[in-house]
Amino acid sequence: MNIAANPAIEADQTIYLKDYQKPSYIVDSIELNIQVYVDHTLVSSTLVIQRQSEGDLVLLGRDLELQSISVNGQQLSESEYKLDSEQLVIANAPDHATIQTVVRIHPESNTQLEGLYQASSDLFVTQNEPEGFRKITFYPDRPDILSVFTTRVEADKKFPVLLANGNLIETGEAGEGRHYAIWQDPTKKPSYLFACVIGDLAVMKDRYTTSEGRDVALEIYAEEKDIPKCKIAMEALKHSMRWDEEHYGRAYDLDNYMIVATSAFNMGAMENKGLNIFNTSCVLADEEYTTDAAIMRVQSVIAHEYFHNWTGNRITCRDWFQLCLKEGLTVFRDQSFSEDLQSSAVQRIDDVAVLKAHQFPEDSGPLSHPPRPDHFVEINNFYTATVYEKGAEINRMMATLLGKEKFRQGTDEYFRRHDGEAVTVEDWVDALSAGSGVDLSNFLTWYNQPGTPKLEVKSEYDVESQTYCLTFKQSLKPHPKYPNLKAVPIPVALALFDAETGEQLTLKSTALVANGVKDGVYLFDQDEATIEFSGVTSKPVVSLLRNFSAPVNLEFDYTDKELAFLLQYETNGFNQWQATQTLLERILLNDQPAEIYINAMLNTLPDLIQKDPLLASRLFDVPTEGYLGSRIDENYQPSKIKEKRNALLNKLAYAFGNTVKEIYLSLDPELQSDFSQAMGVRALKNIMLMMLARQGDETAFELAQEQYSSTGNMSERLGALRVLVWNDALQAQAVLEDFYTRFKNEALSLDQWFMVQAAHPEATAATIKALTEHPDYDLKVPNRIRAVSGGLSNNPVNTWSFGVQHYISLAKYLDEKNPIVGSRLLQVLSRWYTLAEPQRGEVKAQLEALKPLVKSKNVCETLNSMLSV
């Protein structure tokens, strides 16, 4: 790797897990006074500190204008402390002291959306995870310092809403048309969970009584016009509170729970104690303005942030290397919650699809890292699919292995041991082992090394002895930074089916883990092993890795016929879906004929559509071009993949023939009794409409036009719009204009309008240019940038041609304005090295040319890693 030219690496700003040291001082309490003015904000803070071990007092601070500092009431002169762009250090501070500082900050010009920032003309909010608090005041801004926060917020009365964490203890006049509020949070917390909000917002209120009898006031703050769109989120919140009581024995611990929605937010949402701050995209949910997928996402994000109250807030991370401790566990919890909300099979399908589409590619490329990294330059770059999704899978594997009861005993022990502490991944696995009585320590290997294991399985049936043997072998691609890769424990959920009757066989094998779970689970934890099933009277069909019991790449030489068999006879919807995906990958990547897949679909689907429309809609999933591309490690030609995928979709559409239209006309979401089945019907209708258009049936566009204008539901409207726009129908322009007129004041709906156009399969550089020059395109709003950039990345052919310049110039622009988002967008290009020449060389040259132009740690680190292949 050529590192000399890079400022971030030159100064070696790499931080290592092995260098962790306990803080020299702890903070018993902090009082903040935040006074917001039009062109600046004053922040006064009073810290009561106590020495805990040797060392200087280090207060971290970034972009702060220091006005004054005193220790125990004595003003310090400049010679009494050392101040640089990152920290303020006081040597020989007393063992007990009160430190007071006053700083000036500029939230009104903060474009990075980190720390305190002005989100819109009438709203100021904070985002402090992971290291934003140091942009508000000088503080030992690290997660292992837990303190009691008291916050006074003062602003002009044109901002009637003044919020901070905890309980409201006082409000009053502050003169000159100003007012204040004082909040106190009784629970000790790290600084990254601090939040305050100053704004002009409306509120939806509700109440919830916990299992412990606590009466909690629930409040969701949003713009007046959006309040009706907060209902689904409010219901999801109450549901989550009940769910955590029932499934983990965890009740809420404060008298209020507030959620604030803002359209200017880098991420989805943030779990600040008692005062969550959400991207509007993760709170507002309404059939008329948002899609079904968005509605599902809102519910899971609400649950996710609520669940952090115990897994993240009450028990937090010792340092940021442990991020997956809170995120992996909380994602596993929100996935389980969502499995109870809709069909669990479909929820699992959707979660595995995300894992495979984002985490697997990440783990096979230059940005690959362990779920618990051991070094980083910029921690913001490690809020990744690996930390989140693979982190969740590790917890799921342990939960699968333990079964419900023992897993609960394990989590109970975790809360009993560590409530109020900042802990590590080891602490979690230890508690889980101790509570359940099952030693899980070898799962730490999953946390500590990168890469997706390959799991090769071979089968052998012996008629004579009526035995069936499975031989397992695991391996990992060598990784330059991790030479000592070890075997990991892989729970393999499996079933055998009678090849003639399709019936599931009762498993007879001593190798299976008996833990009360329904499926047989074999724990494979060596490099190689064989297990034997007895009493198998004829050659069975095996179903492996049911419910995706481990995040591995399975290689088993199924015959196509066996896969078609599984699509038809597997009893779990997830496993049926998995069979379709395996078949499709073979067809699309290994040039196998499509007939078996198409026939299996024709056999299975018509019935299933009536029985379970939601699952049926997922069985039509064809791996995206992006996913298929990510399975290719060299000589990748995006246009070849596009061609093949298109050909298959056409074949499928023609094979379904007249039934496409029949199915379309027979489906009515209004007739469904529950939301998820209605959602399935809507998804299917849109799929059928797309297939009909592929058949070249002229009525497709009329039906789409009709669906577009007669519905009040966004999934239906958008589905119809997509068919018209993507097929360049005559009606396309008019419906686009209609959509714009209807929704121009609804930012989230307008995002969809941008997205549909950017994702047009034949979008050109001019299409993207027109969108980014549209008056409603706004580089200050990450959601809008993501709408266009995300739409564009739907088309790898475009991503890797004119898209390269798009992402590079965005990264360059955002490097200064919003490096967190800039760094993430650049990652779209991380698999550049797999491209066939000459494209590979061209993209590489463009990335190299970006290097000297960027300065942020975020973008520099990402670019360096990307180029280090």
Q: Applying CB under 6 A, which residues contact ligand BES?
A: 129-130, 267-271, 300-301, 304-305, 308, 327, 331, 334, 383, 388
Residue (240 or 452) nearer to ligand BES, CB: 240
Residue 68 DSSP code? E
Residue (135 or 152) nearer to ligand BES, CB: 135
Residue 8 partner contact from ligand BES, Zn ion, none using kind-dependent CB cut-offs of 5 to 8 Å: none
Least gap, CB of 413 to ligand BES (angstroms): 24
- 3-state per-residue secondary structure call for 270-336: ECCCCEEEEEHHHCCCCCCCCCHHHHHHHHHHHHHHHHCCCECCCEEECCHHHHHHHHHHHHHHHHH
Q: ∠5-8-9 over CA atoms, to 5°?
A: 65
d(CA 415, CA 244): 13
Nearest CA to 231 out of 302, 331, 308 is that of: 302
DSSP labels, 149-207:
EEEEEEEETT--EEEESSEEEEEEEEETTEEEEEEEEEEEE-GGG--EEEE--EEEEEE
Least gap, CB of 362 to ligand BES (angstroms): 15
Residue 239 partner contact from ligand BES, Zn ion, none using kind-dependent CB cut-offs of 5 to 8 Å: none
Q: Which SS3 state, helix, strand or coil, does residue 108 take? A: helix
- Which of 65-73, 111-119, 330-338, 823-831 is the region at the interface with Zn ion (rule: CB under 5 A)? 330-338
Residue 735 partner contact from ligand BES, Zn ion, none using kind-dependent CB cut-offs of 5 to 8 Å: none
* Residue 836 near residue 848 (C-beta atoms within 8 A): no
| Block residue for tokens 């009450």 | 314
**The pair of three-digit structure tokens given for residue 103, joined into one six-digit string:** 């700083």
Residue 443 partner contact from Zn ion, ligand BES, none using kind-dependent CB cut-offs of 5 to 8 Å: none
Least gap, CB of 263 to ligand BES (angstroms): 14
Least gap, CB of 665 to ligand BES (angstroms): 37
Least gap, CB of 129 to Zn ion (angstroms): 9
Which position among 305, 327, 362, 625 bears the catalytic label? 305
Least gap, CB of 302 to Zn ion (angstroms): 12
d(CA 770, CA 777): 10
Residue 269 partner contact from ligand BES, Zn ion, none using kind-dependent CB cut-offs of 5 to 8 Å: ligand BES
Residue (269 or 487) nearer to ligand BES, CB: 269
Residue 750 partner contact from ligand BES, Zn ion, none using kind-dependent CB cut-offs of 5 to 8 Å: none
Q: Please state the length of the chain.
A: 869
Nearest CA to 611 out of 672, 570, 694 is that of: 672
Residue 546 partner contact from ligand BES, Zn ion, none using kind-dependent CB cut-offs of 5 to 8 Å: none
Q: Which of residues 218-277 bind Zn ion (CB under 5 A)?
A: none
Nearest CA to 254 out of 308, 222, 217 is that of: 217
Residue 383 partner contact from Zn ion, ligand BES, none using kind-dependent CB cut-offs of 5 to 8 Å: ligand BES
* Residue 536 near residue 468 (C-beta atoms within 8 A): yes
**The pair of three-digit structure tokens given for residue 460, joined into one six-digit string:** 């052998």
Quickly count: other Cβ atoms within 10 Å of residue 207's Cβ: 10
H or E segment at 222? strand 215-222
Residue 431 partner contact from Zn ion, ligand BES, none using kind-dependent CB cut-offs of 5 to 8 Å: none
Residue 130 partner contact from Zn ion, ligand BES, none using kind-dependent CB cut-offs of 5 to 8 Å: ligand BES
H or E segment at 663? helix 659-666
- 3-state per-residue secondary structure call for 323-360: HHHHHHHHHHHHHHHHHHHCCHHHHHHHHHHHHHHHHH
Least gap, CB of 357 to Zn ion (angstroms): 19
Least gap, CB of 178 to ligand BES (angstroms): 31
d(CA 443, CA 447): 7
Q: Which of residues 409-468 bind Zn ion (CB under 5 A)?
A: none
Least gap, CB of 218 to ligand BES (angstroms): 19
d(CA 385, CA 691): 32
Least gap, CB of 133 to ligand BES (angstroms): 12
Nearest CA to 267 out of 61, 164, 125 is that of: 125
**The pair of three-digit structure tokens given for residue 21, joined into one six-digit string:** 């040291």
d(CA 111, CA 265): 10
Nearest CA to 748 out of 299, 282, 305, 300 is that of: 282
The sign one gets for the Cα dihedral 45, 46, 52, 54 is positive
- Which of 18-26, 319-327, 574-582, 774-782 is the region at the interface with Zn ion (rule: CB under 5 A)? 319-327
Residue (240 or 364) nearer to ligand BES, CB: 240
d(CA 826, CA 814): 10
Residue (430 or 861) nearer to ligand BES, CB: 861
d(CA 611, CA 341): 18
- Which of 171-179, 320-328, 590-598, 656-664 is the region at the interface with Zn ion (rule: CB under 5 A)? 320-328
Residue (330 or 617) nearer to Zn ion, CB: 330
d(CA 650, CA 225): 43
- Which of 283-291, 326-334, 588-596, 855-863 is the region at the interface with Zn ion (rule: CB under 5 A)? 326-334
d(CA 94, CA 210): 44
Residue (336 or 767) nearer to ligand BES, CB: 336
The sign one gets for the Cα dihedral 232, 238, 242, 248 is positive
Residue 457 partner contact from Zn ion, ligand BES, none using kind-dependent CB cut-offs of 5 to 8 Å: none
Least gap, CB of 459 to Zn ion (angstroms): 40
Least gap, CB of 169 to Zn ion (angstroms): 29
Q: Which residue is nearest to ligand BES (CB)?
A: 268
662 tagged catalytic: no
d(CA 643, CA 637): 10
* Residue 735 near residue 724 (C-beta atoms within 8 A): yes
d(CA 42, CA 62): 15
Residue (383 or 548) nearer to ligand BES, CB: 383
Least gap, CB of 127 to Zn ion (angstroms): 13
Residue (391 or 573) nearer to ligand BES, CB: 391
Residues binding Zn ion (CB under 5 A): 327, 330
By annotation, the residues acting in catalysis are 305
